Amino acid sequence: MNPFSLGGQVALVTGANTGIGQAIAVALSQAGADVIAAGRRDCGETLALMGQVSEKAGRGLRLDFSDPMAACDLFASERIDILVNNAGIIRRADAVDFSEADWDEVMDTNLKALFFTCQAFARAALPRGRGKIVNIASLLSFQGGIRVPSYTASKHGVAGLTKLMANEWAAGGLNVNAIAPGYIETNNTTALRADPDRSRAILDRIPAGRWGRPEDIGQTAVFLSAPASDYINGAVLNVDGGWLAR
Ligand code: NDP
C-alpha cells in the first residue's frame, strides 16, 4: 500500500471554489480521493480542474457558513473520511475602530463553523475508529498581525482547538492537525500584494524568496490526510517558505 495514497477515501473540502481550498481539492483528487468540493458559490471550476488530474468526477456541494452550524447534518448520511476546514475570511481595521459586525462575522466563519463542523464529523467518524481532520490555520495563529483583530483571535483559536480535539479524539482513531500557510497568492492577499511597500517587506523576510502558491498547501493537505501521517496528532504545520524561522 502506498502510504501517500488516498484511494478509497472520501474527502470534503470547505471553501473549495477558489484559492487554497481549490488547490487542496485538486491535490486530494490527484492523490486518489473522491472529493466533495463545498462552497457557498458554485465549485464548477474546481470540479473541472479535478477532472484534469483524476478519473473520479468529484462532486460540488453548496455550503454557506453564514449559518455556522450549516454542516452539522452532513456527516450522518454518508461516510466521509477526510475533512478539510479551509473556508475563512479576513476583515481589516484599526483595533480602536474595529466593529462588532466584523468581529462576529470572522469569528463565526473561521472558528465557530470550524468547531461545529469538526464536532459533526467526529460524531460520525469516532464509531468507525478512523478519520482525518485538517484545519487551515495561519501565521496569525502564532503572531499578532496588525489591523486584523478578529482574524488573529480566530486563527489562534483554530490552533488551540486543533490541539484540544486531537487530545480528545486521537485515541478514537482520528487525526486532527492544522496547516499554517505563509503568504500565499490568493484573493485573501490581493490587497497586500497590490501595496508595493508591504509586498516588498513581506518578500524580503521569506527565506524561500517567493510567495507561496496554493499548490504548496494542497500537497501538505494530502500528507496530513494520508496514512503516512497516522502518528501526527495536534500539529500545526507551518508551510511558509521559512517565514517563522526568521
Ligand atoms: P480566498 O478568499 O481565496 O478563499 C476563502 C474561501 O472561503 C472561499 O472559498 C470563500 O468563498 C470561502 N468562504 C468565506 N466565507 C464563507 C462562508 N460564509 N461560507 C462558506 N465559504 C466561505 O482565500 P484563501 O484561499 O487565501 O483562504 C483559504 C484559507 O486559508 C482561509 O481560512 C484563510 O484564512 C487561510 N489562509 C490564507 C493565507 C493566504 O496567504 N492566502 C495565509 C494563511 C491562512 P467565496 O469565494 O464565496 O468568498
Looking at residue 192, its pLDDT comes to 86
Whole-number Å distance, alpha carbon 39 to ligand 1 midpoint, is 10
From CA 206, how far away is CA 119, in angstroms rounded?
36
Asked if residues 85 and 135 have their Cβ atoms less than 8 Å apart, the reply is: yes
Instruction: Check pocket membership of 15 for ligand 1, CB cut-off 6 A.
Output: yes
Radius of gyration over every alpha carbon of the chain, rounded to an integer in angstroms: 17
Three-state SS at 178: strand
Q: pLDDT of 116-171, one tens digit each?
A: 999 999 999 999 999 999 999 999 999 999 999 999 999 999 999 999 999 999 99
Instruction: Check pocket membership of 2 for ligand 1, CB cut-off 6 A.
Output: no
Residue 207 C-alpha cell reads as 527565506
Q: pLDDT grade, residue 191 (50/70/90)?
A: confident
Neighbours of 155 (CB within 10 A): 29
Nearest CA to ligand 1 atom 44: 138
Domain boundaries, the chain: 10-245
From CA 173, how far away is CA 166, in angstroms rounded?
10
Residue 125 C-alpha cell reads as 467518524
Residue 14's nearest CA partner among 36, 44, 47, 42 is 36
CATH topology assigned to domain 10-245: Rossmann fold (3.40.50)
